[in-house]
Chain A
Amino acid sequence: MALAKLEQLSKSVVQGPSLATGAVPTKDWMDTPVIFKEGNFAYPAKKEKVEYLDSQEGLSFPNARIWSPDEDDWKLPEDWQETILKGLKERLDKFRSLKIFMDCCVRCGACADKCHFFLGTGDPKNMPVLRAELLRSVYRNDFTLAGKLFGKMAGGREMTVGVLKEWFMYSYQCTECRRCSVFCPYGIDTAEVTMMIRELLHTVGIGINWILEPASNSNRTGNHMGLQPHTFKDNVDFLAEDVENLTGVKINHSFNRKGAEVLFITPSADVFAEPGLYTAMGYLALFEQIGLDYTWSTYASEGGNFGLFTNNELMKKLNAKMYAEAKRLGVKYIIGGECGHMWRVVHQYMDTMNGPADFLEVPRSPITGTVFDNARSTKMIHISEFTADLIRHGKIKLDPSRNKNVRATYHDSCNPARAMGLLDEPRYILDHVVPEWFEMPENTIREQTFCCGSGTGLNTDEIMELRMRAGLPRANAVKHVIDKHDVNMLSCVCAIDRATLSSLMGYWNPGCDVCGVSELVGNALVMDNEKRAMGYDAEGNESELPDGFRTMV
């Protein structure tokens, strides 16, 4: 009797198809169409941005138009189906990974519960295996004998508008974080599959603005925010002034300077947006203290590469600026700032796409003399590698007590962790710049780290709820160390993380801030001839400003 009422209760509030229909899906996934509504899709790319990119040499972004995913008619070109299938054929011939990943999956399900999107939404199509099946079903239908003979019985299906819409929905609910590929017995990497689907979608004019606009900005002005050279310089100057105000040390930095030893490239968000600004101050202070002969560039002022989220041609084109600028300025090598996907591109793609960088020299730290043999071909090193080496050789003086208000934990960003193997360098640095820091649970860090939920160009505000769902596994692990160790700072080495984890913490764990590791380095750094700005501590005694750079802006 009571349960009958309970049934009524659920009926009265649950109507229509949504995540809350109260039942396990009874229909086959192929028969479950996607429904777009405000909040579950990122806005489509603006017509003029697509046109601009299409006009660039070597790029193809056809079918620029005004459209919206929640309308029935996506205004696809007449021959879109043919374009997609031809594009798929072409990519099968170009990428062995795609062929192998299409053929080898046995649907064992080991990946299913490893995806943060699945864990946060419960939507079965967010299981990596099913995300890949969205493409694989079309592949089977048109490119395998079994599919041609048996069609749906062999798991094949025809390429329809419905399938295309599904591709759009779920390739933009994947952050290419590669966590599933760690657990797959064949190493099937959903990131590869998502990249291919996104490439295919672009061939018929389907893309999102939060990726294509930054990409076109990066192409034109050098950075994804579209900052023109003087504005970029102003921002860095402003940060340098703040560093001087805090430390009393004048910062000598330069732009587009020929003959510098090192070109420094970091994601432009570091010079523009909180809390990346503080990380940039950390770089400025560190380089000043060790007297590094380096220059910023306004032309190559973006470390991040939004091309990675579109297609390999655009990725290559945007990335090419780094070597082009290094060559023009005649530097010896490049140091890269803290960024996740930038480092995926630099580590796994740059040399192949735009090398060989025979005009550069194998990176050698001018302070310690260490030769970075691991980067002997690409000639670009990560700031964490550079800093860890300085600390190891005792070349900088650090006072961890300057970070005494910080109780930190460390978030491994997906790309440095799973596409580079940069795990212990930032940890080594943390050991020396904060009094104490705490690891999150074992299966949420290092190669098993959970994504922030907003990578690959999904950090746009119109899908905030989706981002919060996808970030739940990460936030949940952070909450654990907050409860257990009073952690108040989530450190990381990724610019997208600094932006998106701030929002994620803002919702799930208010009171926990986000910072780059280099910010903590800068704060702890004892500089020659410094004259630290003074303030008052909690007891009213005069002391150094307890929040370091954070006090400045």
Chain B
Amino acid sequence: MDLAEAFRNYEDKIVEQWVDYTLSSYKSSTFFKKGPDKFSNPVGGNTREALGRLFKLLTKNADPKEFVEPLDQIMRIRSIQEFSASEAVAPIHAVKHITREILAKDSERKQFIADLYDFEFAVDMAVLAAFDLYMQCREQLYKVRVKEIKTGTVILTDSKCPSNLLNKDKGDPVQIQV
């Protein structure tokens, strides 16, 4: 019996709790949590799929570059959902605590908690990657916005000029919490 076996054993349970924690950050969380259906429930479906994939990567010493794909799947959604940056990224951390808690409850596997260093380091790397992705998504969002203005998709005669629109921007739409 080793840590890898413990991970395999508890993978479903950990991911289940992780998804649950992540989705409870929404108002209608029950709906998002229910149903594995990705098309009629894109937020829940994508979160579930992404965290499941990410957990596998975190537990097998994968190259942090590989985290980007599943993380993108989830961060792209959270970047535009009225979360602050910290709120958007926070659930990625949660898996550390969930894993410790679950292992602590199993007397046979309690000992492996001491071996969690690599795993937790991987989670830290994932959190950093998630933050990068959050920023990339925000940047992309504003690029899309500027492009829309430039290509004439915003076509009001007297607001063609982006600086004119900036006058109306009373502040950054993202509320940064300190």
- Within 8 Å by CB, do A and B touch in the complex? yes
A residues neighboring B (CB under 8 Å): 1-3, 5-6, 9-10, 12-15, 18-25, 37-40, 43, 70, 112-113, 118-124, 209-210, 213-214, 217, 224-226, 269, 272-274, 441, 443-444, 459-462, 464-465, 468-469, 472-473, 476-477, 480, 499-500, 502-503, 506-508, 510
CB <8 Å contact, A20 and B145: no
CB <8 Å contact, A121 and B140: no
Binary interface profile of B, 96-127, with partner A (CB < 8 Å = 1, else 0)? 11101100100000000000000000000000
Instruction: Return A177 CB to nearest CB of chain B, in Å.
Output: 15
The contact of B39 among A2, A40, A477, by CB within 8 Å, is A477
Interface of B: prevailing SS: helix
CB <8 Å contact, B101 and A3: yes
CB <8 Å contact, B140 and A506: yes
CB <8 Å contact, B94 and A9: yes
The residue on A at minimum CB distance from B152 is: A273
Instruction: Return B107 CB to nearest CB of chain A, in Å.
Output: 16
The residue on B at minimum CB distance from A499 is: B153
Is B141's CB within 8 Å of the partner chain A? yes
Report chain A residues within 8 Å CB of B148. 461, 464, 499, 502-503
Decide: A2 near B24, CB < 8 A? Known: A19-B82, A119-B40, A273-B151. Answer: no
CB <8 Å contact, B90 and A9: yes
Binary interface profile of B, 130-142, with partner A (CB < 8 Å = 1, else 0)? 0000000100110
CB <8 Å contact, B41 and A13: no
**Interface pairs (14), CB distance under 8 Å:** A1-B104, A2-B104, A9-B90, A20-B82, A22-B24, A122-B27, A122-B31, A269-B153, A273-B153, A274-B151, A465-B81, A465-B82, A503-B148, A506-B143
CB <8 Å contact, B28 and A122: yes
Report chain A residues within 8 Å CB of B149. 461
Report chain B residues within 8 Å CB of A480. 38-39
Complex Cα distance A25/B40, Å? 22
Report chain A residues within 8 Å CB of B8. none
Decide: A113 near B31, CB < 8 A? Known: A38-B169, A122-B43. Answer: yes
The contact of A9 among B26, B97, B156, by CB within 8 Å, is B97
Q: How many chain B residues touch the partner (CB < 8 A)?
A: 61
Complex Cα distance A14/B26, Å? 11
Complex Cα distance A485/B143, Å? 27
* Besides the known contacts A469-B81, A476-B45, 9 further A-B residue pairs in the complex with CB atoms under 8 A apart: A2-B100, A6-B94, A6-B101, A20-B81, A70-B170, A122-B43, A224-B155, A269-B153, A443-B40
Report chain A residues within 8 Å CB of B80. 465, 468-469, 507
CB <8 Å contact, A38 and B171: yes
Instruction: Return A280 CB to nearest CB of chain B, in Å.
Output: 13
Report chain A residues within 8 Å CB of B170. 38, 70
Complex Cα distance A48/B45, Å? 46
Report chain B residues within 8 Å CB of A119. 40-43
CB <8 Å contact, A506 and B40: no
Decide: A37 near B173, CB < 8 A? Known: A224-B155, A461-B148. Answer: yes
The residue on B at minimum CB distance from A498 is: B153
Complex Cα distance A121/B80, Å? 9
CB <8 Å contact, B93 and A472: no
Complex Cα distance A70/B170, Å? 11
The residue on A at minimum CB distance from B160 is: A225
CB <8 Å contact, B28 and A476: no
CB <8 Å contact, B28 and A118: yes
CB <8 Å contact, B157 and A2: no
Complex Cα distance A119/B81, Å? 12
The contact of B153 among A70, A213, A459, by CB within 8 Å, is A459
Report chain A residues within 8 Å CB of B40. 113, 119, 443, 473
Report chain A residues within 8 Å CB of B100. 1-2
Complex Cα distance A272/B81, Å? 32
Instruction: Return A215 CB to nearest CB of chain B, in Å.
Output: 11
Decide: A502 near B153, CB < 8 A? Known: A37-B173, A38-B171. Answer: yes
The contact of B90 among A10, A121, A213, by CB within 8 Å, is A10
The residue on A at minimum CB distance from B93 is: A9
Decide: A3 near B169, CB < 8 A? Known: A21-B27, A122-B31, A272-B155. Answer: no
Report chain A residues within 8 Å CB of B165. 461-462
Complex Cα distance A510/B76, Å? 12
Instruction: Return A529 CB to nearest CB of chain B, in Å.
Output: 33
Report chain A residues within 8 Å CB of B104. 1-2
Decide: A464 near B145, CB < 8 A? Known: A122-B28, A443-B40. Answer: yes
CB <8 Å contact, A122 and B173: no
Is B61's CB within 8 Å of the partner chain A? no
Report chain A residues within 8 Å CB of B28. 24, 118, 122-124
Complex Cα distance A6/B93, Å? 9
Q: Indicate the member of A9, A20, A118, A123 with the most B CB atoms within 10 Å.
A: A20
Report chain A residues within 8 Å CB of B83. 18-20
CB <8 Å contact, B87 and A20: yes
CB <8 Å contact, B84 and A13: yes
CB <8 Å contact, A5 and B97: yes
Report chain A residues within 8 Å CB of B32. 122
Report chain A residues within 8 Å CB of B156. 209-210, 213-214, 217, 225-226
CB <8 Å contact, A273 and B155: yes
Q: Indicate the member of B97, B98, B165 with the most A CB atoms within 10 Å.
A: B97
Is B3's CB within 8 Å of the partner chain A? no
Complex Cα distance A2/B31, Å? 27
The contact of A507 among B21, B86, B144, B177, by CB within 8 Å, is B144
Complex Cα distance A19/B93, Å? 20
CB <8 Å contact, B177 and A15: yes
Report chain A residues within 8 Å CB of B153. 269, 273-274, 459, 499-500, 502-503
Is B46's CB within 8 Å of the partner chain A? yes
